[in-house]
Amino acid sequence: MIMNILKNISLLPHNSFGIDVKTKYFAQYQSIEQLRELLESDILKNEKLLHIGNGSNLLFVSDFQGIILHSEIKFIEIEAETETEIFLRVGSGVIWDDFVNYCVINNYSGAENLSLIPSEVGAAAVQNIGAYGAEISDIIETVETIDIQTLEKQIFTNSECKYDYRTSIFKTDLKGKKIVTSVVFKLSKTPNFNLNYAHLEQEILKNFSEINLANIRATVISIRESKLPNPKITPNAGSFFKNPYISAKTYENLKNNYPIMPYYAVNEELVKIPAAWLIEQCGWKGKSLGRAAVNATQPLVLVNQGNATGKEILALSAEIQKSIKEKFDIDLEMEVEIV
């Protein structure tokens, strides 16, 4: 066999939480042909399989007893274009922010609000990453996959991906069944700015005289860097929890006791409550439990203060969930995947 499958590899470089656990086997591939070769190997047929991106949305609580695969498929090519739109096909292993930067440099509009999100293209499409009033599903045209069992290629349209808040069919019905190999994005060749997110436009105009893609990207990066800890310095996985959705009726009842509770109307029946506000109201902002802690500036982020184990971070998250359930009767769901 040509492909090199490594044994007993540390996952420390492959997760942003800085958890020092090992995997029984680890392999990277640079093409669909190499991926198929791996999937046909005896090891893959007999071992538990986990496919990862850059590990920015994972919490390892123990050594992984199986094989971890990682995509190194890296390309950006023009699939098609019209006078107003361009369709870019992008390999699953491309660093997401490198792709955003490529779009901004070439004046392709649609990805700029998602600047600096730590992910790779394939994992981002699975997760449906989002920030500052935008989601990756807003610009996805199709997602190309390989079936783990049959090795057949299957292309999913945007609607077939069943995108919703931080999820897709690849995290639900097809979890562990498909591997994303490339994504086709539809971007605008003319300015089409998304400035609906609170205060984004004002923040841009504080430092720049005009609104353009580069200035939007620079502003988003500045905001993210001011609010979120750098995982290379303070290990973390970004937002640990999802913002919970509750019924409008439940919100009205809660507002009687918490009149300043912030909210975002999803539709006539549902309201989204900022998880960071709930966590702060329960007194967790900046607090620690052993070597795991809640970030002092953005309580939605849990951090590894130094040599914390995955179990310690998970224990902290459980205490946060418990206190919010007791105080608000709201279930806080984890955005991070526990392995």
CA distance 179 to 123: 10
The closest alpha carbon to 282, from 338, 332, 337, 227, belongs to: 332
Q: Is residue 169 scored above 90 in pLDDT?
A: yes
**Looking at 166, 291, 319, 337, which residue is catalytic?**
166
Question: Whole-angstrom Cα distance, residue 276 to residue 262?
Answer: 10
- Tell me the C-alpha distance between 144 and 205, whole Å: 39
What is residue 1's predicted lDDT score, i.e. its pLDDT?
45
335 is catalytic: yes
Contact indicator for 212, 201 with CB cutoff of 8 Å? no
* Position 191 confidence tier, pLDDT thresholds 50, 70, 90: confident
**pLDDT score of 135:** 96
Over residues 229-248, the pLDDT tens digits come to 999 899 999 899 999 999 99
* Residue 47: strand, helix, or coil: coil
Identify whether the C-beta of residue 60 lies closer than 8 Å to the C-beta of residue 170: no
In this predicted structure, the answer to whether residue 45 has a pLDDT above a threshold of 70 is yes
- Is residue 113 within 8 A of residue 134, CB to CB? The reply is yes
d(Cα 158, Cα 288) in Å, to the nearest integer?
41
**Residues in contact with 98: Cβ distance below 8 Å, sequence separation at least 6, in sequence order:** none
pLDDT bin (cut points 50, 70, 90) of residue 126 is very high
Mean pLDDT of 243-265: 92
Mean pLDDT, rounded, for 218-236: 92
Q: Phi/psi zone of residue 39: left (φ > 0), alpha (ψ -120 to 50 degrees), beta?
A: alpha
Q: What is the pLDDT of residue 68?
A: 96
**Mean per-residue pLDDT, 329-336:** 94
Residue 217 a catalytic site member: no
Q: Please report where in the chains the tokens 């783990």 appear, as a residue.
A: 148
pLDDT at site 192: 87
pLDDT at residue 313, rounded to an integer: 96
* pLDDT value at residue 4: 84
Would you state the structure tokens that stand for residue 87, as one six-digit string? 């369709």
Q: Please say if 81 is a catalytic residue.
A: no
> Catalytic pick from 56, 109, 119, 239?
239
Question: Of residues 112, 141, 144, 335, which has the active-site annotation?
Answer: 335
